[in-house]
Every structure is written in structure tokens, then in C-alpha cells.
Chains A and B, each alone.
Chain A
């Protein structure tokens, strides 16, 4: 069920109506029922995957909590026990060791089991393709026909995050299995995130009794409408040209590749943030607050800042649940000692960080897709971030010497530079073969078709002049809203403070714009959200 389909709109409106009619204590149960129904739409058998993950992680978390409780109780017993001090110490240490081993076993088993499910459904064919590459022609293994269950990459991370939080005693384990199941299957979240933490959704009132509030409903609807605007007016209109260029690598080279980098970057932003707006808006309508996943990433002045503003929940997940465990692991601790001794304190401290970051970016890349282009994309990000870090003293020296070079113009220059860098790296999102990507990048300099491109070629990519005009206007609106939000805050709050007639005109205007110029229905291919495939 696509977010932009009539069935989804009908489903949400009906669910919201019933949600506010049932007694508050049953609201979360209704959401669970609705979420499972929504999930079953993607294929009833897919429910088996999410049910397995939810059961194992929920059970694992309870076992972790029990381990802690047993530990505390036993240690208390041992403390009170009438034993000689050395015997008491030995018994305590032995018990602690056993408890730690048990805990590790629970965590490893639960995490590995769920990552294995993800690996089997998502990466088996990638593995087979690579083996086939090694075997060469004539001894090829057949690819498996495995359908990727909806949102598995998102809910698996969310579930593992929960388990680790319980392990870290950040949150208590949820006793009610069905509440936990709702946490990982909540229908607006399950397709493309944000990847929430259990504490966030509890605080966001997922399980609470939510009374009807006109403000929640109207703000939610406004957010959904804005998401539709981004998705249907901008992203889906651009996708026609983007798909045309991607679909024919022999024709579309040179100037077309620059065009693709720019258009795909805009499409990706409008598509993904539009989807997240719909997610957050649907939840808001139901009185539930979800964390933001974007903070106007294309205003970033560096790639480091970009990754603090883009897909925030994913970045936080990798930082919290991969970077920290890796960087504090025994091998990295040993590497730190080694590098400090050999390379000096300063560089020696940075080396282990870079190694941990490498692991994180490799994982981020492969999480996005089971192919080498995503791995290279991840590692490119890592390389740029590492080089930027190493060049930091150079930048600092430059700014010290030329203090004038830090005004608004320089900020804009940095934004454009970062945006172009992101455009370049996004090319690795568009094609699966690395060789092809490099060849297409080379064509930017070797194929001189810029004249042909601007004298008509651009109009033959599935977008008419009107489409470009509409897209351009849509981007201007998006830019204006982003600038306002960057400088002053929420546009919705600002509009809400305006007189009734202004508010009505603004939201009706946006609704009519989506209705009339949205790329949906006959003549347009209903586009899946790009992030759904990750």
C-alpha cells in the first residue's frame, strides 16, 4: 500500500476516525491491528518475518532484564552471606563471570539470529552474484527468488536498538509483547522509518490515551499535505527524466550525467523527506509525536554537518549501536594502544576512530543496498569525512590568516560545495556497476554534448517544458519554506498564527496544487518511495 495511494489515504482516515471513537485504553490495540493489517497488505507471509523478529527480540530483552534482576538479587545474597571474605569474593567473581557470559550469549544469539534473517533475505543473492563472479562463466549458481519483506531493514535495526537499550539499562524491557510488536510494526514507521528508539515512541504517546485534538489533526493533515506536495509535485515529476537517463547508459552520457546528479539529488530529497512528512503527519493526526529525521540537509556547510541533518535516525542508530560498541571493543582498544605508541598521541588517537568509522560506513553502505555501488558510496563518505578531519588544521590556519573569509558568502560557498559533493556521491545510488559509474563520470569530461543537451535534448527525457516549470516552482516553494525554517522555525506554527482567511487560503492553495499538478493517476507511473527499497 503506497503512501500516495487512495487506499492508504482511505485507510488512514478510517483508522483515525475509529481511533478517536474507541475508548482511550484500546487505542494502541487498534493501532496494532491496523498496523498488522497494513503489513499484511504487502503479503500475508511477510508477517512471519516481523512476528519472528518481534518475538525473539522481545523475549531476548526480557531475558536480559531477568539476568540483571537475578544478578542484583544474587549479589545481595552473597553480600549478606556468612562466608569468609576470600571465599565470598571468589564466589562473587565466579557468579559475575557466569552472569556476564549468559548475558553475552543472550545478546549475541538474539542479534545474530535477526541479522541472519536480514542477511538471508537481503544479501543472499548479492553473495551468490559475487561467487558467480569468482567462478566465472559456465559454473554459475542460480540466484534465489526471495522477496524482501517490507521495511525489514528498518524494523530490524529498530528492534536491535531496543535490545541494546535494555542491555544498557537505558529503558526497562517492555512486558507486554503486543506493545512491543506495535513498536516495530507501527504502520507509518515501518516502510521507511524514522528508526525510532523505544523511549522516543513511549514519550511520543504511542501507547498513551490520546484524546481528539483539532490542533493535532489539522497539524497532522497539513504535514501530510506538505509531504504529498514534495512527493507528487516535485519528486515524481522529476523521476520521469531521472529514470530515462538511468535507463540508457549508452545514449545519456556527458551533460546528461551532470543533469542526472542534480535532478536525482533533488528527487531523493523531495521523495524521502516527503515520505517522512507523511509518516510524521499521520502519527501527529493520531496524537503521536515521532522524532524528526531531517534538518534541511542541503544547507549543510560540510559533509559532517550533512550527516547530522540527513536521515538523522539512521545516523544516530549507527553511532549508538555500531560505532560505540566497535570503538570500545577489545581489538580497537588494542589498536589505540598500538597506534599511540607508534604514531604519537595525536594521530594514534585518531587512527582507531577512523577504523571504527570505516566499519560504520561500510555497514551504512551495505544497509542501503546489497550491491557494491552502495558499499563504495558508503566508503566514499568515510573517505571524504576522514580527509576533512585531517585537513581541519589547514582550514583553521586559513581562517586565522584570512578572518574575512567566513561571512555569509563563504557560508553559501560551503553549502554549494557540500551540495555538489552530495550530488556527485548520489550517482553511486543510480547505477549498480562501479565500472559503469566511473565511465559515466569520465564522460562528463570526454563527451561534448552540452550544446545538444541544452538545445533540445533536455526536453526529450519525459519532462515537458510545463513539467520543468512546475518542478522549478515547486523547488522554489520548497527552498523558501526551508530558508524560513532554518532561520525562524516552524512554518506551520507561523501560518497558524495568521488570520483565518490567510490560513485557509494557504492550505487550500497547497491542496489544490497537489490535486492539479501532482504527478499521479493515469499517465503517470505510481512511484514507490526510493527509501522503501533500502
Chain B
């Protein structure tokens, strides 16, 4: 009896040591996204936020690089957060929204419809960046199942060490440094760039054989709409003013029709660049693909006024708790501007 319990204790201790060791190895090998490609860190950052947002953005780089939540707060008293990630596919937007609604119920959800063009996932790397940061929940499981490409395996999302096992060849000091901590890389989900590169010679889109969006993409737009309706949230569809990838008129017409049929608001920012005051010589950092700080602040300014007008969002700047939070965020935001000024040699 004594011998048997000894064997059990020994086995349990061994298993505990092995599992702990493997968990540590997994932490070490997983990409940290603190320098270079930082987009993989965005989704996880949301969980460290105090979740009391009026507006939640969902979508790809056309939201996380194009709208500044700080301006929405400072000019309109709107507390917002961008749950964006690189090439976020529409089904991922749905599950990220579903996940966020487990914690809070915003008044408005802003969805950038750029991802309607993808009926299914195009790249495993982008899947990883949108999914890995999610906390485990039925939403994450759904997101994985909806996103996996043919050569992907669910188990590699459960145990990412199976996916990143060969990263031992490329480990850097940051992999050790950020094994147990993270470094914020966004400002309420906004990824800042202050440098500018004018949009020149933007190519026109090549004619397509078929302009209709895929069935799966429509299905998830319906699901986003239904989810918002169920929770009493207003859904605003937008198309950010990125000049490339090309946004076809035929696509735009389908979006307008969808919005009309479902009683939703839809803003195509590509059609109101003058009204917003955008200047593609100074407001983009990569030749028209994404906005820089100047562009993102202009867009936020326009959107803030629109949100207050259309959805009657209250100005919450008198909320002392939020004031404190935003004071800290604004300081970090301004510090980043200074850091980038130095980095890019901008006066």
C-alpha cells in the first residue's frame, strides 16, 4: 500500500515537472510580437482593458491604423476600443465581437467591411495573429474552426508549441524578456505611425470575373448584425479610406444595398475624403494603404461627430474614473509621438 502510494506521488510529481517544463518551453517559443511585426499582440491587449466602452471597432488594419480612440475621447467624450488585427477575416471579426460581448455591451459597433471580399481564410500567419491572443472560450473555438485552412490543425492552436517548435533556431533576447510579461503596442487598439509617404500612382483595380461577395462572408455579416441586434447594439458599417487594396464600385453597391435592406448606416470614407479633410500627401504613411497619425485623427474627429449625431452617444468626459484612465493613456500616446518623431527625424 505504502509502495503504491509512493509510486503515485512520484508519478504525479514527475508529470507536474514535465508539464510545467513544457508550458515554460511553449511560452518561450511563442512569438512575442513586441518588435518588428507587432500585430499579433493586438487581440490579447484587449483583456487588460477596463471594459466600459461606448464604441467597439472590429476589422482589419483599416480600423486599427485609421482611427484614433484618443481623439474620440478628447473631442467627444466617447470611450472606444479597436478590436482589430492584421487581415482580420469577417468570421474572425464575428467571433472577436462575440468574445468582447462576454465582457461588455457597447452602444455602437463599427465594422469595416473590407474583409467581405474574403470568403475564407487566406493565410495561416494572419489566422494566428487574430486568434492566438484570444482567451479560451466557445468564441475562440468557433473562431479557430471557422478560420483553419486545410493544412492547419486545431491541436496546434491548443498547444502552440506544436506550431512554433522550430523557433528555437531564431530565439532573441526579447523572447526571454517577455516570457511572462507583455508590452503594450497599441493605444486602445490603435496602432500609431506618424511618418508620411504620399499616395502616388495608386494602381486601379484589375477587372474581376465576379464581383459578388462569397456566401460565407455574407453569412458572417448577417451573424454580426444579428448579434448586435440581440444585444441592442447599433451596428455601423464603414469602408475606411484606404486606396489600396482597391475597393470596387460593384462591391460598394452591394454594401449600400445590404445596409439599406437592413436599416443600417454605412459610411464609405473613400467618397467623403474632402469632407473629412484627408490629404493623401500628408495623411498616409505608406502611399495610401493606411492612415498615419494625422489621417487617423481626422477620421476619428469626423466619426466622433457622426456617432454623437446619429446614435446620440453621450459625452463622458465628466466621468472622473474615465478621466484618470485617459490621462494615463494620453500621456503614453504623446510619449509615443515623441519617440516616433525622434525615430523618423520629424520636427
Q: List the interface of chain A (C-beta within 8 A of B).
A: 6, 464, 466, 500, 504, 508, 512, 515-518, 520-524
Contact = CB atoms under 8 A, between A and B. Distances in A.
Interface stretch (B51-59, B107-115, B132-140, B159-167): B159-167
A508 to B, nearest CB: 6
Contacts of B161: 515
Residue of A508, A512, A515, A521 with most chain B CB atoms under a 10 A cut-off: A521
A122 to B, nearest CB: 29
Nearest to B166: A523
Given A520-B165, A522-B163, 5 more contacts: A508-B18, A516-B165, A517-B165, A517-B166, A521-B163
Contacts of A518: 165
A504 B14 contact: yes
A521 B169 contact: no
A516 B29 CA distance: 10
B10 A6 contact: no
B155 A515 contact: no
B296 to A, nearest CB: 33
Interface in B168-206: 168-169
Interface in B1-45: 10, 14, 18, 21-22, 25
Contacts of B22: 512, 515
A247 B320 CA distance: 69
B156 interface: yes
B153 interface: yes
A504 B10 CA distance: 11
Closest 3 CB pairs of A and B: A6-B155, A516-B165, A466-B169
Nearest to A9: B155
Nearest to A514: B165
Contacts of A464: 169
A508 B20 CA distance: 13
A522 B166 CA distance: 9
Contacts, number: 35
B222 interface: no
Nearest to B14: A504
A464 B169 CA distance: 11
B169 A522 contact: no
Given A504-B14, A508-B18, A515 B165 contact: yes
Contacts of A520: 162, 165
B18 A516 contact: no
A521 B166 CA distance: 9
Contact of A521 (B10, B18, B25, B156): B156
A464 B245 CA distance: 36
Contacts of B163: 521-522
B124 interface: yes
A521 B159 CA distance: 12
A314 B168 CA distance: 41
A500 B166 contact: no
A522 B124 contact: yes
A521 B124 CA distance: 12
A396 to B, nearest CB: 53
A18 to B, nearest CB: 20
A275 to B, nearest CB: 21
Contacts of B155: 6
B162 A521 contact: yes
A517 B21 CA distance: 16
A516 B166 contact: yes
Contact of B168 (A6, A508, A516, A524): A516
A6 B156 CA distance: 10
Contacts of A523: 166
Residue of A500, A504, A508, A516 with most chain B CB atoms under a 10 A cut-off: A516
10 contacts: A512-B22, A515-B161, A516-B166, A516-B168, A517-B168, A520-B162, A521-B162, A521-B163, A521-B165, A522-B163
Interface in B70-91: none
Contacts of B151: 522
Contacts of A508: 18
B13 to A, nearest CB: 10
A500 B10 contact: yes
Nearest to A7: B153
Contacts of A515: 22, 161-162, 165
B165 A6 contact: no
Contacts of B169: 464, 466
Contacts of B10: 500
B21 to A, nearest CB: 8
A521 B164 CA distance: 9
Contacts of A524: 166
A342 B161 CA distance: 72
A398 to B, nearest CB: 51
Contacts of B153: 6
Contacts of A466: 169
Nearest to B124: A522
B162 to A, nearest CB: 6
Nearest to A214: B7
Contacts of B156: 521
Nearest to A518: B165
Contacts of B18: 508
A508 B168 CA distance: 18
Contacts of B25: 512, 516
Contacts of B166: 516-517, 521, 523-524
A524 B153 CA distance: 14
A214 to B, nearest CB: 10
A522 B31 CA distance: 14
A20 B161 CA distance: 30
A517 B155 CA distance: 18
Contacts of B21: 512
A516 B155 CA distance: 16
Residue of B10, B161, B162 with most chain A CB atoms under a 10 A cut-off: B162
Contacts of A521: 156, 162-163, 165-166
